[in-house]
Structure 1
Amino acid sequence: MPKFEVREFITFAIVGVINTATYYGFYLAGLKGLGLAYMISHFSAVILSMIISFFLNSYVTYKVKPTLKKFLMYPLTQLVNIAVTAVLLYILVDGLHVNSSIAPLAALIVTVPVTFVVTGKVLKAA
């Protein structure tokens, strides 16, 4: 079992806050600024924030050199995260009638621990 690195988790959490703010900014820009549907805003924001997240987690959290292979694998590791977030977003907005401006924040909270483990495995791979 890999050793749990407290520094990595704390840094991951800080990068996560930055990434969440980035995602949310892009999401609101699409939703409110461009008038896009919430799902289109969501997926656009996910893609843009994922690119930023890759580099922040590579350089800051795990202190590894980003490579093309890792960059191409990174989105694949996020598929579960993206799918769960999208399903939760749909349930919150369409099922529970939560405001679409705040629903992504609640949905993202559910996926953080899984994302930490999966991200570390991919970025630390040789």
Structure 2
Amino acid sequence: MKVENGRPTLLTKLLNKEFLKFVISGGVNTLATYLVYLLLLLIFNYSLSYTVSYISGIFLSYYLNTVFVFKEKMSIKKIVKFPLVYLIQYLINLLMLYILVEHLHLSTRIVPLIVVIVTIPVTFVLSKLIIKSK
């Protein structure tokens, strides 16, 4: 998938090894945090279970992205900055949810799926910026 002048297209750049590893690690992270949530539900209420599983998901995501996706060394400085990715992602998602539901009148059942798919590249770029920063 190259354009005529030999430069890679945006799609080619997105479908590189790092991005594919990012998508795989995201799937693993989602499954793991969901299982943690289900296990915690046996002991705690849903809100505490969700909170603990969400926070553990941030740390698992940092680990997977650092070691598996970007092959970098872990550091305290980067792990402290990494939750910013999730904050930014959350704010973008919230804005997109509002626009898609309130202005475009799309179904509230479908919109979260659209939002997640659209923000995967944003999350990838932000994660890469933080993890690969020197």
Report if TM-score (shorter chain) is over 0.5.
yes
Unmatched runs of 5 consecutive residues or more in structure 2: 1-11, 102-107
What is aligned with 1:101? Answer: none
Count, aligned residues: 109
Q: Deviations over 1:63-103 (max 9, x none)?
A: 11111100110112221234547xx6xx9xxxx6x7xxxxx
Query: Percent identical across equivalent pairs?
Result: 28
User: Cα distance 1:41–1:82, how it changes in 2: closer, same or farther (>3 A)?
Assistant: farther
Greater relative contact order (Cα < 8 A, sep 6+): 1
What is aligned with 2:45? Answer: 36
Matches within 5 A, 1:11-30: 11-30=21-40
Structure-1 separation of matches of 2:45 and 2:90: 19
2:65 partner amino acid:
N
Report the Cα offset of residue 35 of structure 1: 4.4
Report the Cα offset of residue 50 of structure 1: 1.1
* Correspondent of 1:71 among 79, 88, 99: 79
2:43 partner amino acid:
L
1:50 partner amino acid:
I
1:66 partner amino acid:
M
User: Aligned with 2:19: secondary structure?
Assistant: helix
TM norm structure 2: 0.66
Structure-1 separation of matches of 2:115 and 2:24: 14
RMSD: 3.1
Larger Rg: 2
Asked if 1:57 corresponds to 2:65, the answer is: yes
User: Aligned with 1:26: secondary structure?
Assistant: helix
